[in-house]
């Protein structure tokens, strides 16, 4: 598989071009075929080592990076931060430089501080992949969301999303997924609209390529795709919401509210879900939900990213 021009790091979708995004998605489409084989193993990255360093919890992202690396025959080393020397006060700089000294070929990092992945990239000579930094970006989630939509609408050949509207609903202020999706979908031509409570809207919305809507009905209007965000209570100061019950009533995506979107609109959620809060169980499990397809596509997308970043330089 051809890699085309090589990316040095993957820190966000704001920083990379539409062509770079299309190249990664095209590569993921090729890797998706490998996932359906009886033996899911290719020698592409044999002899290389990917390290995951997650300062925050994860099920989907960390596991799918590990699966992606193993299918490509790379070593996958997961640093358990809670059992690492981070607990003795070791700095981020010393931690990542230590991992580089151990001869890792790529670092996948999740951190609660926006900008942590970029900081690590400045300290290292090996590629860095941002697996989520604070409220900033989660670029591989953005890519897998794009891949899932292109796959559903049969656009895995063009990756052209002109004419499509994506509604992103809920806790936008704390969401790195909202930012990566806003950049990624708009770069491929889609219209992106945000809707959520005023207290959960970021202050810098005007610098993002989105339209902001004041209520759920207008946020869903015209949307062929809805991305429902998790209410990130762990990142919220007190007083942003009167109650979960009121949030669910005004902003929860349910069978009733789906009537405001285009008929048959796709429903996505990056996970993990708060069922009964931002999304009702019948919508999460309904026939228009592609929530678990997103998870599956995450493996192919992360294979493509690892291949782009860890490819052939050592040979
Ligand atoms: N979507 C996402 O990042 O999920 P995890 O936190 O489980 O990795």
CATH placement of domain 18-138+295-312 = 3.40.50.1370
Structure tokens of 57? Answer: 């919890």
Question: Confidence class of residue 243 from pLDDT cuts 50, 70 and 90?
Answer: confident
CATH of the domain spanning 139-293, picked from 3.40.50.1370, 2.30.42.10, 2.60.40.10, 3.10.20.30: 3.40.50.1370
Question: Confidence class of residue 239 from pLDDT cuts 50, 70 and 90?
Answer: confident
Residue 228 φ then ψ, to 5°: -95, 125
DSSP state of 31: H
Query: Does any ligand 1 atom lie closer than 6 A to the CB of residue 270?
Result: yes
Write the pLDDT tens digit of every residue in 161-194. Answer: 999 999 999 999 999 999 999 999 999 999 999 9
Measuring from atom 5 of ligand 1, which residue has the nearest CA? 58
Provide the whole-model pTM: 0.96
Residue 22's region, left for phi above 0, alpha for psi from -120 to 50, else beta, is alpha
Write the pLDDT tens digit of every residue in 187-213. Answer: 999 999 999 999 999 988 889 999 999
Report the separation in Å between the CA atom of 293 and the middle of ligand 1, taken as the mean of its atom positions.
Answer: 14
Report the separation in Å between the CA atom of 60 and the middle of ligand 1, taken as the mean of its atom positions.
Answer: 5
pLDDT of residue 241: 82
**Residue 45 neighbours by CB under 8 Å, 6+ apart:** 69, 72, 73, 74, 306, 307, 310, 311
- Edge-first strand order for the sheet with 128-133 is 75-80, 49-54, 106-111, 128-133
Write the pLDDT tens digit of every residue in 248-257. Answer: 999 999 999 9
Write down the domain spans for the chain. 18-138+295-312, 139-293
Does residue 225 surpass a pLDDT of 90?
yes
Structure tokens of 14? Answer: 């704001």
- Among 112, 132, 279, 293, name the best residue to mutate to test ligand 1's pocket (greatest count of ligand atoms within 8 A of Cβ): 132
pLDDT of residue 234: 77
Write the pLDDT tens digit of every residue in 105-128. Answer: 999 999 999 999 999 999 999 999
- Mean pLDDT of the chain, nearest integer: 95
CA 57, 172, 178: angle at the middle one, nearest 5?
75
Query: Does any ligand 1 atom lie closer than 6 A to the CB of residue 97?
Result: no
| Identical fold, 18-138+295-312 and 139-293 | yes
Query: Does any ligand 1 atom lie closer than 6 A to the CB of residue 63?
Result: no
Residues 267, 59, 172, 15: is their CA dihedral positive or negative?
Answer: negative
pLDDT of residue 312: 61
For residues 123-137, give the mean pLDDT. Answer: 98
Per-residue HEC secondary structure of 96-129 comes to: HHHHHHCCCCEEEEEECCCCHHHHHHHHCCCCEE
Query: Does any ligand 1 atom lie closer than 6 A to the CB of residue 139?
Result: no
Query: Does any ligand 1 atom lie closer than 6 A to the CB of residue 58?
Result: yes
Measuring from atom 1 of ligand 1, which residue has the nearest CA? 270
Measuring from atom 6 of ligand 1, which residue has the nearest CA? 58
Half-sphere exposure of 253 (CA within 13 A, CB side): 36
């Amino acid at each position: 598989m051809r890699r085309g021009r090589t990316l040095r790091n993957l820190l966000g979708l704001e920083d990379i071009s539409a062509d770079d995004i299309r190249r990664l998605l095209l590569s993921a489409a090729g890797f998706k075929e490998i996932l359906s084989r009886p033996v899911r193993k290719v020698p592409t990255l044999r002899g290389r080592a990917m390290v995951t360093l997650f300062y925050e919890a994860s099920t989907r992202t960390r596991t799918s990076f590990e699966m992606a690396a193993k299918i490509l025959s790379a070593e996958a080393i997961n640093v358990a931060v809670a059992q690492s020397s981070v607990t003795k006060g070791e700095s981020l700089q010393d931690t990542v430089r230590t991992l580089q000294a151990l001869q890792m070929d790529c670092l996948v990092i999740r951190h609660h501080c926006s900008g942590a992945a970029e900081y690590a990239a400045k300290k290292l000579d090996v590629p860095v992949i941002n697996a989520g930094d604070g409220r900033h970006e989660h670029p591989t989630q953005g890519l897998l969301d794009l891949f899932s939509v292109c796959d559903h609408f049969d656009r895995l050949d063009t990756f052209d999303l002109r004419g499509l509207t994506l509604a992103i609903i809920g806790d936008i202020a704390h969401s790195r997924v909202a930012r990566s999706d806003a950049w990624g979908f708009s770069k491929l031509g889609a219209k992106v609209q945000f809707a959520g409570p005023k207290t959960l809207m970021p202050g810098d919305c005007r610098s993002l390529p989105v339209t902001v809507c004041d209520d759920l009905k207008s946020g869903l209007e015209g949307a062929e795709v809805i991305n429902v965000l998790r209410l990130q209570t762990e990142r919220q100061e007190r007083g942003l919401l009167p109650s979960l019950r009121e949030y669910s009533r005004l902003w929860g995506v349910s069978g009733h509210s789906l009537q405001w979107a285009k008929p048959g609109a796709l429903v996505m959620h990056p996970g993990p879900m708060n069922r009964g809060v931002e999304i009702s169980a019948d919508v999460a499990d309904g026939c228009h939900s592609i929530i678990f397809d997103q998870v599956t596509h995450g493996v192919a997308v992360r294979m493509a990213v690892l291949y782009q970043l860890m490819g052939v330089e050592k040979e």
